[in-house]
Amino acid sequence: MSKLIPNGLLAVVVSSSLLLAQGDKPATAAGWSAKPGSGLSYDGGDAFGLKWSNRLQVHWTFSNIENAADTNTFNIRRARTNLTGHVFNKNVMYALILDGTDSGDEGDGNIKQAWGQWNFSKSEDSAVGLRVGQAKTMFGLEATTSSAGLWFVERSSASRAFADSYSRGAWINGGLMMKDRPLRFAIGAMNTDAANGLGAGYTDRGEEAANSDNELSYVLAANIDPMGDFGNGKQTLESNRQGDWRTDNNDLKGTIGVGIALGNGVDTATGSDVESTSINLNTAWTVNRFNIMGEYFMRTDDLQGATQDEEEPTGFAISLGYLLEKSGDSAIQWGLGIRFNMIETDEGTVGSGVDYLTGAQGIGGTDGEASEISFVANAFYHGHQCKTQIEYTLQDVEPTGTGGTTNHILRVGFQLEF
């Protein structure tokens, strides 16, 4: 074992030119293999395995905001390097995912995920393991699945506001009966809240933040696939990608899920604790190149102490996509989609930390409602691994007590995995 890893690393240096010269065909050398769009893999048997892959997402966004200046900008949305695999035996897994663009107001660094997992129970069709480190909270279906496989340029604003966060903690992840009617579940205890849309005045937010007191935040989530495996035999749905790419059969496949998140943080404006309860209902289905996804979020934030108050925001998103057949010898396969989503808050004054419209992607304000309808055309050159997406969003924002605005947002996204 002591010589296995160094020898493997030396082999990749010696064989790099050979691997890169293979064009579109997979190539192997000294335990290493390479495949366009999938990166490099090293197979050291049960003792060690490594997959090294990268993802680049470039976005151009033009926003026509009513009663405000237009914006026109390019940005590097994600520039990630993924190192995943197993060590010592196949039940001890790891992930180190770095993002060159990951820095924000909360002071996050470049680490997106850094965890180790021990599958303490493993059989032919089930696995249950303990994960520790920094990872996805496992709350929300679209937030849990990979950003590499989005049918739209961005996740829905509802998902961005109520889920779509990372945290540091411990999770028990399980997949049972993975070949028949799989049940996948996650139970987690974390430093920070599951909602990405929380404002800067809330303490327990940000993927690399420490817990502010003696009360952690918690997640319990489960999904069942009633028509057979929807997750490609995986223990979690983290690697799932949207769309029906099957060519061998077009059977109806889907998943139905529920999640509960309990948050414990502090509102810095009042210094009082905020106790939160979030509920997520979700489903996704594919058949005959159609894909549909729906999510509903309901949350209660209770401000404790002398100035008690309550906020009860809700949100939902529903989307429909269709993958066209390839035309002749064209390398492009087109995919079309439409999505409607909405966020609504009440007039509670829990504090500056609970501002879901502020935290949601592309929306400003603190209380009120916002709705969006989006249309997307995807040009898939090599599936999700190389694609261009053109998305138009019509956005209506109605903040409480002020006039509303109607906004137009055009996004073009390009993704390359290598």
Residues whose CB falls within 8 Å of the CB of residue 188, separated by 6 or more in sequence, listed in order: 137, 138, 169, 170, 171, 172, 218, 219, 220
The pLDDT tens digits along the chain (418 residues) read: 444 444 443 344 334 433 444 445 556 668 999 999 999 999 999 999 999 999 999 999 999 988 889 999 999 999 999 999 999 999 999 999 999 986 654 446 689 999 999 999 999 889 999 999 999 999 999 999 999 999 999 999 999 999 999 999 999 999 998 667 899 999 999 999 999 888 777 888 889 899 998 999 999 999 999 999 999 989 999 999 999 999 888 899 999 999 999 999 888 877 888 899 999 999 999 999 999 999 999 999 888 876 667 888 899 999 999 999 988 888 899 999 999 999 998 755 554 445 566 555 445 555 788 899 999 999 999 999 999 999 999 999 887 767 788 999 999 999 999 9
Q: What is the pLDDT of residue 205?
A: 87
Contact between 207 and 165 under an 8 Å Cβ cutoff? The reply is: yes
| 8 Å CB contact between 37 and 130 | no
The reported pLDDT for the residue numbered 6 is 40
Residues sharing a CB contact under 8 Å with residue 302, sequence separation 6 or more, in sequence order: 274, 275, 276, 308, 309, 310, 350
* pLDDT at residue 305, as a whole number: 74
Nearest of 242, 256, 238, 358 to residue 289 by alpha carbon: 242
DSSP string, 353-416: T--HHHHSTT---SSEEEEEEEEEEEEESBTBTEEEEEEEEEEEEEETTS--EEEEEEEEEEEE
- Provide the strand spans (E) within 17-165: 27-29, 32-35, 39-43, 48-64, 71-87, 89-99, 111-123, 126-136
Geometric angle at alpha carbon 151, from 219 and 61, rounded to 5°: 100
Q: What is the CATH number of domain 37-417?
A: 2.40.160.10
**Beta carbons of 341 and 304 less than 8 angstroms apart:** no
Tokens 């660094």 correspond to: 109
Query: What is the reported pLDDT for 201?
Result: 77
Q: Which residues contact 103 (CB under 8 A, 6 or more apart)?
A: 109, 110
| pLDDT the model gives residue 352 | 45
Task: State pTM to two decimals.
Answer: 0.89
Where are the domain boundaries for CATH 2.40.160.10 in the chain? 37-417
Q: What are the distances in angstroms from CA 300 to CA 195, 212, 228, 312, 372? A: 12, 20, 34, 5, 23
Residue among 389, 403, 395 at smallest CA distance from 154: 389
Whether 200 contacts 224, CB under 8 Å: no
Structure tokens at 271: 């210094």
Single out the residue of 131, 83, 89 nearest to residue 235, CA to CA.
131
Tokens 């506001």 found at: 161
DSSP, res 147? G
Residues β-bridged to residue 28: 33
* ∠ Cα 95 132 156 (to 5°): 70
